[in-house]
Structure 1
């Protein structure tokens, strides 16, 4: 059950672009099950944390969603493009950083010019533009990790999968990845991540699930508790908004949005930076009754 009492069972959710139907996984017929009968549904704008002990199956779950591995049983449904940052990035590839990112951009369907532009953007944003022409095999582990993250972010994918992607990054790069993950979700992307830091993206995560004994269990959070933020906004609004705010039409044609405070940053970001930016008249926070 969701914290607000609404079910997250697969059969009760419609139109979600990421769905796992009874997924099970093991490596070999006599091997133990790593995952068993996992159901999951992830909707637009959700920022989902996957947690669990080492070896519990977190990375396996992300690989199944990424399409890197097939399930032993069950079905994975993903709508849209996927981008994946694996737990371990193979640096021994015959590319320099710029060429590798450009190549991945082309694989994601970008034009040559757009792939080059985005590659340059992320190299610069991660502070490694001066390493653009350096072969991957000659880069430090930290710089390689920045390239690994950049290849996923430049895709602007519908589904972003981050498997301990912050590991090996410096503090500035971790902050950049935090911001990028939140931006992707705020724009309607579906972000699933694994990280050792229990405070990673705290306050922005919409759901957390734990892998235990091969099962995936919803972690009860304060997602639907805490103060309400009320936003008065003018303009046409997208069908989906972060936090699924309550919408109340006002007499002058504007809309009052009510959302829990933990979702308010993502909501305001989308309203201000979406394809059709809205005019925000006021923002106020009130304690929940």
Structure 2
């Protein structure tokens, strides 16, 4: 009997011993994260679940570099895409102009940016809003734009903070189609939420309690 060794998959995201606290007043200090760890492998879809106030968004901001931890390390291999819980947009820019702006920030060629933009409009179903200014979009369409901008450069690691909170059922299904395709392509996705309805769509569920995973 012979066995074939399985290739070792190197983590594309690895966070270890993450600690974070906030000072309230002169004496009180609130410990939010107390040594949280999380690892993401190529082609994995992982859910990070915790109650409101458990520190999920704080951990996500540390992972993307928007917040400095008090202790611990974070390493990411490859390009990172981030979809924050609250859409980040410029009110006077259209959807097309947002994609153009982010494409330049990602140093994408004009052809690559336009191709990716067309694919995302079709996948998420909001191409009719291409020339609409952001301040005239509904909350659900802003959520689609927010996700589209995170996906524009086809990142190896995609971090999503409550990504489908404003989606209708059709968009929710479209979202999971996109996630499934990314998994097939070896891309990795970390989704944080206060609850998980479809556990079978995830490879792993990580729970955040008392500042630890």
TM (norm. structure 2) is 0.88
The structure with higher relative contact order (CA 8 Å, sep 6+) is 2
Shift of 1:31: 2.9
1:166/1:195 contact within 8 Å kept: no
Look up the SS of the partner of 1:27 in the other structure. Answer: strand
5+ residue gaps, structure 2, are 1-7
The residue aligned with 1:20 is: 15
The residue aligned with 2:134 is: 136
The residue aligned with 1:222 is: none
Look up the SS of the partner of 2:200 in the other structure. Answer: coil
C-alpha deviations, 1:113-158, integer Å up to 9, x for none?
Answer: 1112211221232221111111111111111111001111222111
1:24/1:34 contact within 8 Å kept: yes
The residue aligned with 1:43 is: 41
Task: Pick the aligned partner of 2:202 from 192, 197, 205.
Answer: 205
Greater C-alpha radius of gyration = 1
5+ residue gaps, structure 1, are 1-12, 217-289
The residue aligned with 1:147 is: 145
Matches within 5 A, 1:187-206: 187-200=185-198, 202-206=199-203
Shift of 1:196: 4.4
The residue aligned with 1:80 is: 78
Look up the SS of the partner of 2:46 in the other structure. Answer: strand
**1:214 and 2:211 aligned:** yes
**1:124 and 2:122 aligned:** yes
Which one has a larger percent helix, Structure 1 or Structure 2? 2
Number of residue pairs aligned between Structure 1 and Structure 2: 203
CA separation in 2, counterparts of 1:99 and 1:148?
Answer: 13
CA separation in 2, counterparts of 1:43 and 1:90?
Answer: 28
Shift of 1:15: 2.9
CA separation in 2, counterparts of 1:182 and 1:55?
Answer: 29
Look up the SS of the partner of 1:119 in the other structure. Answer: helix
The residue aligned with 1:6 is: none
2:10/2:42 contact within 8 Å kept: no
CA RMSD in angstroms, aligned pairs only: 1.9
The residue aligned with 1:106 is: 104
**1:161 and 2:159 aligned:** yes
Q: 1:196 to 1:53 in 2, by over 3 A?
A: closer
Q: 1:193 to 1:152 in 2, by over 3 A?
A: same
Shift of 1:92: 4.3
Shift of 1:159: 0.6
2:123/2:178 contact within 8 Å kept: no
CA separation in 1, counterparts of 2:78 and 2:47?
Answer: 20
Shift of 1:199: 2.0
